[in-house]
């Protein structure tokens, strides 16, 4: 055992003890965050506009600060982008994370000197919790790769702009710099396919022990490794035993990954976003990710089926229930207030508070009142694959409201690595799983409003070609699991 791995175990125990202190006092932890946020932003333009000086309780806050999305907050963000100070938070932000918007084009999410450290600490602490629970620390002596965006940043009005993953690349601790891959030059390559090929060249002969990234893009890296080396990833990297991921549910990819790797490896799930680092998997034994309640973020939760009502109730951490689908609302030390990030979550544990990401509030199918969410389609696909040789690369689901003949249906566009022996039986299995999970969907099938699921096979690399066609190949970009219209699948068909 090396000195570095011994030090990792000692540090891991220290971080675990600190985590226990706040996670066992969740309501008090959130109350402390809330008070500090209001106090520190009291004299900002937003704080003055929303009477922060008079806010003493959460009820006061909810009366003065409505739930907003980016469009609603944009008038303040634009002032900060133009170099004005003390608008949403004290002074100026250090960075703006540039993300893809929907109605507004690019979005600019502030990162401040108060918020930035939590992004770095959370990723580190996720790994340390793994070390503490499993005792596995040998990986710290090997090479680690983090598939991410370019670290090249623009500067405007003294603020740096870039992708979150590129910004984070500037904060890799010194003790990991020698272990980290790919090289800075390779990381700066913008074209994703060129970048992946360069990463393969750099890493194929290295002792890779940790690999991290969004599963769909790591899969592309693994496939290129296999093509180049003619072996499984596990044979190429004999000491690779830890996969760290975020952004999408890993389960639909797990069977394909284990096939590419040639064995099972441990995994750690993260829930990072430009708006904040919200949760990480703190245990290999328990379901869900630990919600970070002392990390400069105050959380509110709105039941997703009430979200679009006139005055939805806003719940705090002490009021949430297990298994309910909530829209996640945040207020942060980066200057986001009552902000809807668009993700929905469900609690898997209340002691401590652990969550899973169940989908996006705008990514659902309710063309007939069924309100199907991402968690349901992912679980249904996973259940259908069990006991079969079917392997899935990527998929998305859309309603077919006006078929040429027969009843409407949900159409599943699936790119298979291995097609099921019986596609009809596979479709039936998906449909059965959906009906068990969603009673509204079941009612529509029973009532002959909908017919059963239809599976449409997508050609090899069809989803990659689609993402390339819209300029979103690689990086942090993801395929929506489902949508309430056919915009994605219509373009997918054309590609």
pLDDT in tens, 199-241: 999 999 999 999 998 887 888 899 999 999 999 999 999 999 9
Between CA 82 and CA 296 the distance in angstroms is: 25
Mean model confidence pLDDT for the chain:
91
Query: At a CB cut-off of 8 Å and minimum separation 6, what does 18 contact?
Result: none
* Predicted pLDDT of residue 103: 44
**192 pLDDT above the threshold of 70:** yes
Note the pLDDT tens digit of each residue in 103-137: 446 789 999 999 999 999 999 999 999 999 999 99
**443 pLDDT above the threshold of 90:** no
**101 pLDDT above the threshold of 60:** no
Note the pLDDT tens digit of each residue in 249-302: 788 778 889 999 999 999 999 999 999 999 999 999 999 999 999 999 999 999
β-pair partners for 283? none
The order of strands in the sheet holding 409-418 is: 391-400, 409-418, 454-457
Between CA 125 and CA 130 the distance in angstroms is: 9
Q: List the single range of 48-52, 242-246, 372-376 with lowest mean pLDDT.
A: 372-376
CB count in 10 Å sphere of residue 183: 11
Give residue 476's pLDDT band: very low, low, confident or very high (50, 70, 90): low
* Predicted pLDDT of residue 220: 85
**360 pLDDT above the threshold of 90:** no
Note the pLDDT tens digit of each residue in 389-403: 999 999 999 999 888
Handedness of CA 401, 403, 409, 412 (dihedral sign): negative
């Amino acid at each position: 055992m090396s000195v570095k791995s011994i030090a990792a175990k000692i540090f891991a125990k220290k971080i675990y003890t600190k985590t226990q202190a706040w996670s066992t006092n969740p309501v008090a932890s959130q109350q402390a965050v809330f008070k500090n946020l209001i106090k520190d932003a009291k004299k900002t333009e937003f704080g003055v506009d929303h009477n922060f000086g008079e806010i003493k309780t959460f009820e006061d806050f909810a009366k003065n600060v409505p739930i907003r999305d980016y469009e609603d907050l944009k008038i303040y963000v634009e002032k900060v982008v133009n170099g004005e100070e003390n608008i949403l938070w004290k002074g100026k932000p250090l960075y703006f994370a540039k993300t893809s918007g929907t109605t507004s084009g690019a979005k600019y999410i502030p990162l401040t000197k108060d918020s930035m450290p939590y992004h770095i600490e959370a990723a580190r602490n996720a790994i340390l919790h793994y070390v503490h629970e499993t005792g596995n620390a040998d990986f710290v002596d090997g090479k680690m790769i983090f598939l991410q965006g370019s670290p090249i940043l623009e500067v405007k009005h003294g603020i740096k702009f870039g992708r979150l993953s590129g910004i984070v690349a500037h904060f890799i601790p010194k003790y990991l710099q020698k272990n980290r891959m790919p090289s800075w030059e390779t990381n700066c390559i913008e074209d994703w396919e060129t970048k992946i090929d360069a990463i393969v060249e750099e890493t194929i002969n290295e002792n890779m022990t940790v690999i991290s990234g969004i599963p769909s893009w790591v899969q592309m890296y693994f496939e290129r490794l296999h093509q180049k080396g003619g072996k499984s990833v596990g044979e190429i990297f004999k000491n690779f035993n830890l996969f760290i991921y975020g952004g999408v549910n890993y389960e639909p990819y797990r069977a394909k990954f284990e096939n590419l790797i040639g064995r099972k490896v441990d995994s750690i799930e993260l829930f990072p976003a430009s708006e904040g680092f919200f949760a990480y998997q703190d245990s290999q034994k328990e379901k869900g990710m630990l919600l970070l309640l002392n990390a400069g973020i105050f959380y509110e939760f709105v039941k997703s089926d009430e979200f679009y009502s006139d005055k939805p109730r806003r719940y705090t951490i002490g009021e949430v229930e297990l298994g309910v689908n909530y829209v996640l609302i945040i207020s942060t030390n980066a200057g986001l207030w009552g902000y809807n990030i668009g993700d929905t979550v469900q609690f898997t544990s209340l002691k401590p508070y652990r969550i899973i990401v169940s989908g996006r509030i705008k990514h659902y199918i309710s063309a007939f009142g069924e309100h199907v969410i991402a968690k349901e389609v992912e679980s249904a696909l996973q259940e259908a694959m069990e006991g079969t040789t079917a392997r899935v690369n990527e998929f998305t689901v859309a309603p077919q409201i006006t078929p040429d003949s027969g009843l409407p249906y949900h159409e599943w566009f699936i790119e298979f690595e291995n097609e099921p022996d019986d596609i009809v039986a596979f479709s039936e299995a998906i449909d059965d799983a959906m009906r068990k999970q969603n009673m509204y969907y079941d009612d529509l099938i029973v009532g002959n409003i909908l017919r059963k699921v239809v599976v449409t096979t997508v050609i090899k690399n069809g989803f990659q070609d689609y993402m390339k066609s819209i300029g979103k190949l690689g990086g942090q970009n993801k395929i929506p699991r489902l949508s309430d219209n056919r915009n994605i699948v219509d373009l997918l068909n054309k590609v």
